[in-house]
Amino acid sequence: MVYQSLYRKSIDEKEKFWKEQSERIPWFTEPQTILSVNEQGFYRWFTDGRCNISYACLDWQIEQGRGSQVALIYDSPVANKKEKISYDELATRVARFAHGLQSLGIGKGDTVVVYMPMIPEAVISMLACARIGAIHSVVFGGFAPHELAMRIDDAKPVAIISASYGIEFDKKIPYKPLVDQALREAVHQPAHRIFVQREPGYDKLEKKGEYDFDNLQTFEESEAVPMLSTDPLYILYTSGTTGKPKGIVRDHGGYATALAFSMKHVYDAHAGDVFWAASDVGWVVGHSYIVYGPLLAGCTTVLYEGKPVRTPDAGAFWRVISEYGVNVFFTAPTAIRAIRKEDHEAALLSPYKLSSLRYLFLAGERCDPATFHWAREILQVPVIDHWWQTESGWPMLGIMMGVEPLPVKAGSAGLPVCGFDIRIISEDGAPLPPGREGLVTVRLPLPPGCLPTLWKNDERFIAGYLSQVEGHYLTGDGGYYDEDGYFFIMGRVDDVINVSGHRLSTGEMEELVATHPAVAESAVVGIADELRGQRPVALVVMKDGRQETEVQLEQELVSLIREKIGAVAFFRNVLLVKRLPKTRSGKILRKTIRQIADGDAYTIPSTIDDPVILQEITGRLKEREIGRIGEKNVSGN
Ligand code: COA
Ligand code: AMP
């Protein structure tokens, strides 16, 4: 009953529990107030504590004797580079760059956008901002300039830190033209633009306010600035239901406490261990478990600039695990599916010894049972699906391996993690019994580490998360729990989809599709994809009198989404239809379209305006061989 008793304590005696956990991190001023409510009625953790997460990740580790231990391993099959950086060296490089930022007048409360590939300077930039109290906002390098521009206009950064290029397989993707294009689109103009030169002189840095990253790494070093626990550490934009991304805010003290707790209790990772999250610094997984979590715990973290396959082959992950003695590995199910597709028999694993590996953690999307079983069989270690989101910052469901290695169930994201009081609630707000699918909510207060609000947008925070179920945080996911208390997360209940573990908004895609002059109306839905989990498909009704063919419109819309959101959206198909299926009140039946495409059983809603249109859609999907269409189990009500 170790898990049960610890979990109960985290819910029933939350202040005592989190006060004890906060003692895992170094404070300049220890918090006396553990949990409080601010003037907007939002919960806050450790309001009077002062700390600095960059100090906790670096200086404090060195004080404990870890200066010569490797803090960060950079492994890049695409740049053909490997580098091991000790805590001493990382601290120096961070403190020097922090000083460089300060020399530009950047300091506490300023925002800084980081648009970088997976190189050590990305980590250094984040830690340097945190050190001087500047709020970083990392934008995933796979996003197009339009996405970057929206984030610039919302975060209003004083500086952008970027690099000459990212590398996708064998292709260089120059970043400066993307930054320049974003700045042409953005209204807000940051005073400083800093570029890491991956090859000397790659970018022409001639304009006022443009700097070479290395020239800002002076010999002078900056000390960590004491921050209030509740001061913002970063803003991380994530997709919502509209075209405008949501700026998730994270604080210093609550986040550090939660991450330190999770490293030990969820991941069973300890000082000296090698921890590898094969994600990207542009996502929350990268923030929490490439950068801050492992360093806070005194681990060695791996920064891998490559893919699970084709860099150079499907044995890449196994090579990294064996080469560096990775103890805890975290990736997305998509990555495992990509490996399984190319190397079903795991022949590429046999040259490597993976004896260091203790666990494989999976998140980002639901892990289908087939992937779960395959990974467990080939790796012979516990495979743990765990569920969380940008908003939570750390896992909400999982098996807490550092507490009690309880059994896992294939297809389930596990049990509630300490601090999260997870509930399943019906659309009208009633709690549901085991086996009944409903909205997944968390009873307030959320534990430390979760979003305190959205960046300069309390109203959207309340409207999007707090207003549907009184006293609960709405996660946006649907699911159920079984008689043993295991939860099953079945997918989003809103317009958010997960493509290769990348969170994207079909609402945003629909808004973009609507800008095409030939489009009268459209519905973009996420359909099941064997490799990527989901991918978007658009159904379009064309304006009368337009001459475009389906092929032509498809090409134009595919280019539009690629140009505005990025190739990662994997938007490939547009279907012309005469009408969209709607209820009599005009609501588009997106869920029914998705069910048809996925070959799932569906019920024809009694409120449907014209059921015949569903047959047309089924026919069109079949004709184009899109989705897994089946007409079985269709019923009316
Ligand atoms: N910068 C620029 N472009 C990027 C990019 C980045 N960081 N990441 C992906 N892209 C591009 C790809 O090059 C590709 O472009 P293309 O259409 O010109 O070929 C497009 O976006 C689609 O990429 P993707 O869906 O990733 O397909 P892929 O064939 O390149 O790779 C996988 C497939 C499964 C190997 C890859 O998606 C993967 O590694 N997934 C795991 C992702 C992950 O770990 N997510 C977890 C976040 S927690
Ligand atoms: P992100 O904010 O990008 O981390 O995406 C969060 C969303 O991804 C969640 O709301 C879920 O829809 C989905 N997700 C993440 N992890 C899991 C998981 N283990 N099981 C099911 N869905 C998941």
Quote the pLDDT of residue 139: 98
- Measured from the CA of 310, which atom of ligand 1 is nearest? 35
The response to whether residue 386 sits with its C-beta less than 6 Å from ligand 2 reads yes
Whose C-alpha lies nearest to ligand 2, atom 15? 364
Quote the pLDDT of residue 213: 98
Quote the pLDDT of residue 425: 98
Per-residue pLDDT averaged across 56-85, rounded? Answer: 98
Residue in the block written with tokens 């993976």: 354
Pocket test for ligand 2, best of 503, 504, 506 (most atoms within 8 A of CB): 503
Share of the chain above pLDDT 70, in %: 98
Q: pLDDT class for 408, splitting at 50, 70, 90?
A: very high
pLDDT of 360 over the 50 cut: yes
The response to whether residue 59 sits with its C-beta less than 6 Å from ligand 2 reads no
Quote the pLDDT of residue 241: 83
pLDDT of 633 over the 50 cut: no
Per-residue pLDDT averaged across 228-239, rounded? Answer: 97
Distance of CA 366 to the CA centre of its chain: 14
pLDDT of 637 over the 70 cut: no
Q: CB–CB of 605/592 below 8 Å?
A: yes
Quote the pLDDT of residue 243: 85
Q: Residues 420-477: pLDDT tens digits?
A: 999 999 999 999 999 999 999 999 999 999 999 999 999 999 999 999 999 999 999 9
Q: CB–CB of 613/593 below 8 Å?
A: no
Per-residue pLDDT averaged across 127-149, rounded? Answer: 98
- As a whole number of angstroms, the distance between CA 43 and CA 99 comes to 34
pLDDT of 630 over the 70 cut: no
Phi first, then psi, for residue 122 (nearest 5°) are -65, -45
Q: Which two tokens stand for residue 276?
A: 């590898």
Average pLDDT for the chain: 96
Pairing of strands 519-529, 383-385: unpaired
Quote the pLDDT of residue 242: 84
Pocket test for ligand 2, best of 290, 498, 506 (most atoms within 8 A of CB): 498
Q: pLDDT class for 603, splitting at 50, 70, 90?
A: confident
The response to whether residue 339 sits with its C-beta less than 6 Å from ligand 1 reads no
Q: Report CA(257)–ligand 1 centroid distance (Å).
A: 32
Q: Residues 249-283: pLDDT tens digits?
A: 999 999 999 999 999 999 999 999 999 999 999 99
DSSP-assigned letter for residue 118: S
Q: CB–CB of 228/252 below 8 Å?
A: yes
The response to whether residue 309 sits with its C-beta less than 6 Å from ligand 1 reads yes
Q: Burial letters for 297-323: b for 16+ Cβ neighbours within 10 Å, e otherwise?
A: bbbbbbbbbbbbbebeebbbbbbbbbe
- Measured from the CA of 390, which atom of ligand 2 is nearest? 2
Quote the pLDDT of residue 354: 98
- To the nearest 10 degrees (0 to 180), the angle between helices 506-513 and 550-564 is 120
Q: Report CA(169)–ligand 1 centroid distance (Å).
A: 10
The alpha-helical segments, DSSP class H, found in 456-601 are: 458-461, 506-513, 550-564, 590-598
pLDDT of 1 over the 80 cut: no
Pocket test for ligand 1, best of 168, 281, 287, 339 (most atoms within 8 A of CB): 168
Q: Is the dihedral of CA 85, 89, 95, 100 positive or negative?
A: negative
The response to whether residue 308 sits with its C-beta less than 6 Å from ligand 1 reads yes
- As a whole number of angstroms, the distance between CA 259 and CA 530 comes to 32
Domains of the chain: 2-306+386-479 (3.40.50.12780), 500-636 (3.30.300.30)
Q: pLDDT class for 632, splitting at 50, 70, 90?
A: very low
pLDDT of 313 over the 60 cut: yes
Per-residue pLDDT averaged across 556-560, rounded? Answer: 98
Distance of CA 112 to the CA centre of its chain: 19
Among 407, 467, 412, which residue's Cα sits nearest to residue 434?
412
Pocket test for ligand 2, best of 250, 366, 480 (most atoms within 8 A of CB): 366
Using alpha carbons, list the distances in angstroms from residue 6 to 97, 400, 416.
41, 11, 11
The response to whether residue 173 sits with its C-beta less than 6 Å from ligand 1 reads yes
Per-residue pLDDT averaged across 137-141, rounded? Answer: 97
